[in-house]
Amino acid sequence: MEGEIERIVQLEKWYVSLGRPLLEEHQPARLAELDEAITRARKLANLEHEEIAFCFVGRSGVGKSRLINALVAGKEIVLPAGGIGPLTALAMEVRFGEAPRFEAEYHDSKTMGQVLFALEQWHTRELTRLTASTGSAVAVAMEHSDELVEAPELALAETDPTGGELSRIGTFRQQAQLLVRGRQDEETELPYLLDALRFALGRESKWQVALESRDQDRLNRLKRILSTGDSRRFSRDQRADESIDGFRKDLSEHAAGFLAPLIRELRIWWPSPLLAGGLVLVDLPGVGVSGDVYKAAARSWVVDKARAIILVVDRSGVTEPDAELLRRSDFLTRLLFSADDHAADPITLSIAVTQLDSVAQTEYEKDRTRKKREHLDEIFALCRSRMKSQVSQQLQSVWREEDEALRKAKKQVIDNLVDQVRVFPLSAFQYRLFLGKDPEDPTFLTEDEQSGIPAMARGLTDLIQDVRKRAQRASDESAQRFVDQVVGIARVIDAQWQGEHRAEQEVERLRGELEEVLAPLRKEFQSRQGAFREFLRQTVPEQIRARVEESKAQAARSIRRLLIGLSTAHWATLRASVRREGTFHGARYINLPDDFAQMFVEPLAESWGRTIIQSIRKRTREFADDCVSQVEQLVEWCRGQGARVDSKLIEAQLDAIRADAKQIDSVGIPGRRSRPVSCT
């Protein structure tokens, strides 16, 4: 890997010191093209040692964080396992470090103020409802109302007529309990939580509640963090002279303890062999979650940065919500852009099936003639055999399409995914018990392999090696194309130098004969060149405009069908589908802004790779082949002149044109964006 980087560096040095000055003097028109080519070769070489992001996505409670902990740290806790997570969850990244370390960035006081606002507004409405006859509680509740700033719609809870009653306020209350009490499940009177949050924000008490001494240390620390203005970053290394216990305590407080709801970003470095090769495991708790105001940041990982997606599911396998999560994260839309050329964007999908030890326990209760680990082995085998068909069925269910061309493209994407998907049946819980070797909390495993965790670690390592190999091939090919171009141009210059010594009379005679040969070739070339320019200037923009119009029309039809299907929905449900960034209508999750955008992007994505990119590739290749063919005809004529003509110059031109033609193959190769940015 380092050798390849060094080779590109040396190649670039040679080009800058020797090759470029020569071209600047004799072929200045080619400089911009060759500068771009060496820059592309360097970027592709850098891909070989850049970090590789594998993103874990999954519904809440499936054991995603526990799985990452098991893969990276064995029985240690790196990421929060369970719980409610941050106030507005972002990606949490785990990468390699020689010693444990983490960096946290906290939310500002405005974000905490929005949570306080939502809880106080809800509490005020409850008091209004309970004491409407006297209004006394309302007067108390609205005292100091001028302190409350207007909060975004996401912070205002409503009763969802489809059944999700006050779920957002419930989440905010749990977060407040964790911040104040240190435990999210410790039920506390809401006025106490409200005044505690007010203290942390530096505001006066409103609900006249005395704060308990056991909460004072936490609240003082929250107050210090929220009052630091722009200095809201916390960095912590495990020092060489300290026990790991102190570091673990700080990390636990940030990752899973009372500070967790306050975390805006969390990056962790851990001395894990799995991560030593540049792998970064990214936990994306916000992808596909209703009300996640940072879903755009999560999508940026899925759409632009991820080299592999790990979908974590529970004992039920891949369900409709899991498939819907892949759709809403824009993962499937990303694949549509390269449906006809998977090598252009070779991202992979893996399925990690967790909590299978609970299934083994259930089966053991039915049949005690076999050991639990034997039941687990059988469940693992059954899971591997069924998962591909389950993935295909659920993806086709949530990614339906009436348009024939788009339906075929979507089916091709699904078939490609199913053909290459890796399935990892697991029990991270039993794996940690095995490593813990606690006699009070024993495992039923006899070796760690039975948990599936080591097998998954090897599978991820294989994926890393595949990514590195693809990057190396792309880098080698790019560097070789660059070398061929420069050498071809240098041969042309050399042949031109030698040709300058020929007798002027002989040159004039040959020029006349050559003109007779060139005339029809020049006319044909000009015709083909004009057609190609017309294609680039007129046809391609027309194709893009046509596809955009088709996508608009198709989106309009899809939107009409969607709205007709929602004609029976309660008005509050439709309002929530926009204001609250999504809600459920029956079993279906709807988010109208996202749904409308995807209905436009998907048909455009399907045609981008199948129609536009392929069309450009085809016509450019044809034009390049025409150029090569015409020069070949000229070379044959020169060879027929015997000693009268030194064909070295023309042959050098032919080699240069062939080298240039190879660059056409780089359209859409890994490392180059061959799709437009998603409008979502």
Q: Does 513 map to a domain?
A: no
Give me 509's structure tokens.
């005679």
Q: What is the pLDDT confidence band of residue 583, given thresholds at 50, 70 and 90? A: low
Residue 670 is predicted with a pLDDT of 42
Residue 244 lies in a domain: no
Helix boundaries (H) for 313-422: 320-328, 331-336, 356-366, 372-398, 404-420
Residue 401 belongs to a domain? yes
**Tell me, what's the pLDDT at 451?**
94
> Same domain for 391 and 330?
yes
Tell me what the mean pLDDT of segment 577-586 comes to.
65
- Cα–Cα distances in angstroms (integers) from residue 403 to residues 42, 299, 604, in the given order: 42, 26, 12
pLDDT at site 80: 63
Residues 440 and 294 in one domain: yes
The more confidently predicted of residues 327 and 422 is 422
Whole-number Å distance between alpha carbons of 465 and 474: 14
Averaging pLDDT over each range in 3-17, 126-140, 272-286, 436-450, which range is the top one? 436-450
State pLDDT tens for residues 637-672: 777 766 556 666 666 666 766 766 666 555 544 444
Q: Whole domain around residue 661: which residue ranges? A: 1-50+471-502+646-680
| Boundary (domain end) residue, out of 173, 206, 226 | 226
CA distance 110 to 95: 30
> Could you tell me if 136 and 117 lie in one domain?
yes
Is the model more confident about 260 or about 656?
A: 260
Which stretch of DSSP H or E encloses residue 220? helix 216-226
Let me know whether 68 and 45 are in one domain. no
Let me know the angle formed at the C-alpha of 527 by 521 and 531, rounded to the nearest 5 degrees: 145
Domain co-membership, 330 together with 422: yes
Q: Which residue has the higher pLDDT, 61 or 372?
A: 372
Q: What is the pLDDT of residue 343?
A: 67
Is the C-alpha dihedral spanning 385, 388, 389, 390 positive or negative?
Answer: positive
More confident residue, 249 or 510: 249
Asked if residue 353 lies in contact with residue 423, where contact means CB atoms within 8 angstroms, the answer is: yes
Q: Give a yes or no: residue 243 inside a domain.
A: no
Position 350 in a domain: yes
Are residues 421 and 443 both part of a single domain? yes
Overall average pLDDT of the 103-118 stretch: 86
Q: Please tell me whether residues 410 and 493 are part of one structural domain.
A: no
Q: Name the domain count of the chain.
A: 4
The region that residue 560 occupies, defined by phi over 0 for left and psi between -120 and 50 for alpha, beta otherwise, is: alpha
Task: Report the pLDDT averaged over residues 303-312.
Answer: 90
Do 601 and 680 form a contact (C-beta atoms < 8 A)? yes
How is the beta sheet containing 101-106 ordered, strand by strand?
Answer: 233-237, 101-106, 263-270, 92-96, 279-283, 52-58, 306-313, 348-353, 422-425
> In terms of domains, do 178 and 312 share one?
no
Residue 464 lies in a domain: no
Question: What pLDDT does residue 357 have?
Answer: 92
- Answer yes or no: is 247 within a domain: no
Using the structure block, give the residue that is written with the tokens 């018990």. Answer: 433
Is pLDDT at 355 greater than 70 in this prediction?
Answer: yes
Residue 414 has pLDDT above 50, yes or no: yes
Residues 437 and 311 in one domain: yes
Highest mean pLDDT among 4-13, 357-366, 574-583: 357-366
Rounded mean pLDDT, 153-169: 41
Q: Do 261 and 370 fall within a single domain?
A: yes
Are 654 and 628 contacting, i.e. CB atoms less than 8 angstroms apart?
yes
- Output the pLDDT for position 499: 56
Q: Does residue 71 lie within any of the structural domains?
A: yes
What pLDDT score does 581 carry?
61
Answer whether residue 630 shows pLDDT above 90. Answer: no
Pairwise CA distance, residues 337 & 342, whole Å: 9
pLDDT digits (tens, 9 = 90+) for 481-526: 777 777 777 777 776 666 554 445 555 565 566 666 667 766 777 7
pLDDT of residue 674: 44
Give the domain CATH number at 98: 3.40.50.300
Q: Which of 227-236, 286-295, 332-341, 440-449 has the lowest mean pLDDT?
A: 286-295
Is the Cα torsion angle 288, 293, 298, 303 positive or negative in sign? positive
Q: Region 43-54: what's the mean pLDDT?
A: 78
d(CA 193, CA 212) in angstroms, rounded, equals 11
- The DSSP output letter for 644 is G
Same domain, 446 and 496: no
The model's pLDDT over 396-405, given as tens digits with 9 standing for 90+, comes to: 988 887 777 7
pLDDT for 318? 92
Distance, CA of 283 to CA of 93 (rounded, Å): 6
Closest CA to 417 of 295, 311, 297: 311
- Helices and strands: H and E segment counts in the chain: 24, 11
Indicate the pLDDT class of residue 430, thresholds 50, 70 and 90: very high
pLDDT in tens, 358-374: 999 999 999 999 999 99
Q: Same structural domain for residues 358 and 397?
A: yes
For range 8-24, the mean pLDDT: 77
Q: Of the given ranges (39-43, 169-173, 328-332, 356-360), which has the lowest mean pLDDT? A: 39-43
**Mean of pLDDT values over 350-362:** 93
